[in-house]
Amino acid sequence: MKNRIIISFLFIFWVFSGCSLLVEVKDPPGNPSCGDGQISDDEQCDGSNLGGDTCQQHGFIGGQLGCTSTCVINTIGCTDDANCGDGQVDAEEQCDGLNLKNKNCLDLGFDGGTLSCFGVDHGDSACTFNTSQCVGGNPCGNEVIEAEEQCDGANLNGQTCESLNMGTGTLVCKDDCRFDTSNCYLPAEICDDGADNDVDGLTDCDDPDCQSFCAGVCGDGWIGGSEQCDGDILNGQSCELLNWGTGELTCVNCQFDPGSCAGTCGDSLLGYEEECDGTASTIMTTCHDWGFYSGNLMCNGDCRLDFSQCTGNIGLSTPTLVSSGQAHTCTIIGSMMVYCWGWDQHGQLGIQSGQMYQPVPVPLSFTGTWMLATHLSAGGMHTCAVSGNVGFMGIVLCWGNNTMGQIGNGSTATIEPLPVPILNITNITAVAAGFEHTCALHNSGLVYCWGANTFGQLGLGAGHGTSENQPTLVTSLTNIIAISAGFNHTCAIQQIDAVTNALYCWGANNAGQLGVSNNYVDSNIPVPVMTFNARAVACGQSHTCGIKSDNSLWCWGANDVNQLGYSGSGNTIPVQVPGFTANSITAGANHTCAILGDGKARCWGSNVFGQLGIGYPSASGTPEEVNGLDNVSMISGGGEHTCAFINDVNLNYPLSCWGENWYGQVGNGNTADQYYPALVMGQ
């Protein structure tokens, strides 16, 4: 385009020049003043008088502007290329040769001296001011670095975010000629790779950024692992922020001491473990907020919410699967809809309610519709399911606590309050959620695990850190037909042939829960439980139980509260529970339940909160029949509670729960512990 303009000007110049020669006139007709050096009438210029115009004002970088004999601006000498050394100060030049644009040392903030211009032999500094002969002053803003300046304007002295060890991004210069690194971004510290990722001189667990990842030692002066505090370091918390009333919060054994905070039920202050106090509660909302249709939410004399005047909630029809977590419960009904209830402080219900718990079942949503699932598992403070939604069939969805990557989506978010799809594995048939880890069973018989790996509970072998935040293949396992995840260990059943199965376990083995003879050593790879033709397996906190092909019932591991079904110390190898055969087995934290051949449920072990369902809170060293349950078709043990389906055509497979109910995990519309099975509300 510019060449065409130049040619046009040349053509015009030639035409007018030719005409003037032919007719022998000095001035073009109608403009007798052209040539007198004065710009007048419609003249753009006159001789060397350009009216102060430059090539830059006409859209060029530099060059020499001219004037035609007809007093029209001529840009033929203009150029788009900066030409240091031509004596013309182009757009990107401060000066050129002796042309300083009338600047001197005083203009640049010095006290005096001689200003000059760097020539073409000064590389990147060519055609910039040379202030070496200027004296006095320390100017900032002249784009020349003097004295203690780190930078000056666009002159960064060759530095970048990377050269300053500040990561990546855009380094800029502040008005005081100091570097501004606010737009530089340091990478996050990776807590188990041995590298100083954030360039702070500290690696892995020595870096405070890893305090929530690493185990930490109480008294080491920083908060790590499960520590809430350490000495005088309270992590910014106070009695008021914890809703424990008022007082001076203290730290005991690296846990907050609620006893250091004031607050008594009836004082109209929301104290420790008080949900409400008169009408002063910050969480006194409505019945609807807690999963009910309507009613009046009250505060009882124990400063806990009273739901007795709340009525109605969405109905549960034909439940087909139930899973009990640490203090929450989830179920799938016949239409594949998912409902959850109980503790929600870490988002483990997947409903983003804003409440600490929900005492009745609440449906989950996903991608703008109801969430559907073919299988699910409630873990410690997270939940995972196999999606049944269109477009996501066979995809794992997880939600809740993610401090160890147990959600599996590669995120480092502490909490995922809504279902998150794990898109890098498909065709999953079952999931098993442990306390802080998750495993999934592929339809080919392969197993993927992710989350906490502190004790080797992912089964990945050497070369892996203390956690994985994405599904990772357990390479040593094939032909798996069932999996179970405990507190810090995992077990899987492998099909050998049509009549023979093998049982493998891995992870924590502090109580012998892996079933390896005379061995209390953790294992980061699956190890066989010898001579065990397994049909079912269930992992508890520190114990494991299984059913053999002949329906005999066997348990091993910790037995401090008789969770193995017999008296005495624990065992590192499977020992038969005497006198019973079983069709199904489940393990809670420290209790165990089984469905016997007659359709009745029996439970044993810890019973502090009534989780055995036998009507009183005393522990039992032998299997006890759950009160009032017949034709039980499924049973699931949680932290300190248990749930079961009853195959009763008149009640349409009702769901009952019992045990600890502080967070409403029993689902019957209140928060009182249940020593007997209670129907889940909505049936």
What does the pLDDT read at residue 241? 84
| Residue 316 pLDDT level (bands cut at 50, 70, 90) | confident
Query: Exposed/middle/buried for 660, CB within 10 Å: 0-12, 13-18, 19+?
Result: buried
Residue 15 structure tokens: 């035409």
Share of the chain above pLDDT 70, in %: 90
Residue 592 structure tokens: 């165990």
Cα gap 402→520, rounded to integer Å: 29
Question: Dihedral (C-alpha) 480, 484, 486, 489: value to the nearest 10 degrees?
Answer: -10
Which residue type is seen at 599? G
For CA atoms 405, 406, 409, 414, the dihedral sign is: negative
Using one digit for the tens of pLDDT, what is the confidence trace for 494-524?
999 999 999 999 999 999 999 998 889 999 9
Domains along the chain with CATH numbers: 2-79 (no CATH), 314-603 (2.130.10.30), 604-683 (no CATH)
Using one digit for the tens of pLDDT, what is the confidence trace for 323-344?
999 999 999 998 999 999 999 9
Cα gap 560→571, rounded to integer Å: 11
Assess whether pLDDT exceeds 80 at residue 49.
Answer: yes
Residue pair 71/101 in contact (Cβ under 8 Å)? The answer is: no
Question: What are residue 117's DSSP bridge partners?
Answer: 129
Burial 582-594 (b: 16+ CB within 10 A, else e): bbbbbbbbbbbbb
Across 159-168, 265-274, 579-588, the highest mean pLDDT is recorded for: 579-588
What does the pLDDT read at residue 29? 43
Name 123's Cβ contacts closer than 8 Å, sequence gap at least 6.
none
Residue 634 structure tokens: 């499924």
Nearest to 386 by CA among 398, 399, 373: 373
Q: In 10 A of CB 283, how many CB atoms? A: 16
User: First-to-last CA distance in the chain?
Assistant: 80
Reduced to 3 states (helix: H, G, I; strand: E, B; else coil), residue 94 is coil
Assess whether pLDDT exceeds 80 at residue 126.
Answer: yes
Place of tokens 């402080």: 345
Q: How far is CA 504 from CA 150, 260, 536, in A?
A: 63, 47, 12
Nearest to 463 by CA among 194, 187, 131: 194
Using one digit for the tens of pLDDT, what is the confidence trace for 596-641?
999 999 999 999 999 999 999 988 889 999 998 989 999 999 999 9
What does the pLDDT read at residue 13? 33
Residue pair 644/334 in contact (Cβ under 8 Å)? The answer is: no
Question: What phi, psi does 618 have (nearest 5°)?
Answer: -80, 145
According to DSSP, residue 20 is labeled H
Residue 81 structure tokens: 């290329």
Cα gap 297→310, rounded to integer Å: 6
Across 151-155, 210-214, 562-566, the highest mean pLDDT is recorded for: 562-566
127's torsion region: left (phi>0), alpha (psi -120 to 50) or beta?
left
The radius of gyration of the chain from alpha carbons, rounded to an integer in Å, stands at: 39
Residue 241 structure tokens: 């922020």
For CA atoms 626, 629, 631, 635, the dihedral sign is: negative
What does the pLDDT read at residue 81? 64
Tell me which of 85-99, 358-372, 578-592, 600-614 is least confident. Answer: 85-99
Reduced to 3 states (helix: H, G, I; strand: E, B; else coil), residue 289 is helix
Name 22's Cβ contacts closer than 8 Å, sequence gap at least 6.
none
| Residue 215 pLDDT level (bands cut at 50, 70, 90) | low
What does the pLDDT read at residue 55? 80
More confident site: 383 or 240: 383
What does the pLDDT read at residue 680? 95
Q: In 10 A of CB 209, how many CB atoms? A: 16
Cα gap 676→625, rounded to integer Å: 11
∠ CA 403-543-568, rounded to 5°: 145
Nearest to 349 by CA among 289, 414, 249, 419: 419
According to DSSP, residue 58 is labeled G
Using one digit for the tens of pLDDT, what is the confidence trace for 343-366?
999 999 999 988 999 999 999 999
Cα gap 376→441, rounded to integer Å: 12
- Average pLDDT over every residue of 464-486: 97
| Residue 408 pLDDT level (bands cut at 50, 70, 90) | very high
Assess whether pLDDT exceeds 50 at residue 1.
Answer: no
Place of tokens 């002295």: 157
| Residue 6 pLDDT level (bands cut at 50, 70, 90) | very low
Mean pLDDT in the chain? 87
Q: In 10 A of CB 47, how many CB atoms? A: 14
Q: Is the pTM of this model over 0.75?
A: no
User: Percentage helix, strand, coil, to 5, in the chain?
Assistant: 5, 35, 60
Cα gap 67→190, rounded to integer Å: 67
Assess whether pLDDT exceeds 70 at residue 12.
Answer: no
Q: How far is CA 540 from CA 215, 436, 514, 577, 637, in A?
A: 22, 13, 11, 16, 9
More confident site: 246 or 411: 411
Across 26-40, 96-110, 193-207, 470-484, the highest mean pLDDT is recorded for: 470-484
Name 473's Cβ contacts closer than 8 Å, sequence gap at least 6.
446, 447, 448
Q: Please name the helix (run of DSSP H) or strand (run of DSSP E) that holds residue 265, with its range, or none.
A: none
Residue pair 73/52 in contact (Cβ under 8 Å)? The answer is: no
What's the 3-state SS for 557-622? Answer: ECCCCCCCCCCCCCEEEEEEEEEEEEEEEEECCCEEEEEECCCCEEEEECCCCCCCCCCCCCCEEE
Burial 86-110 (b: 16+ CB within 10 A, else e): bebbbeebbbbbeebeebebeebbb
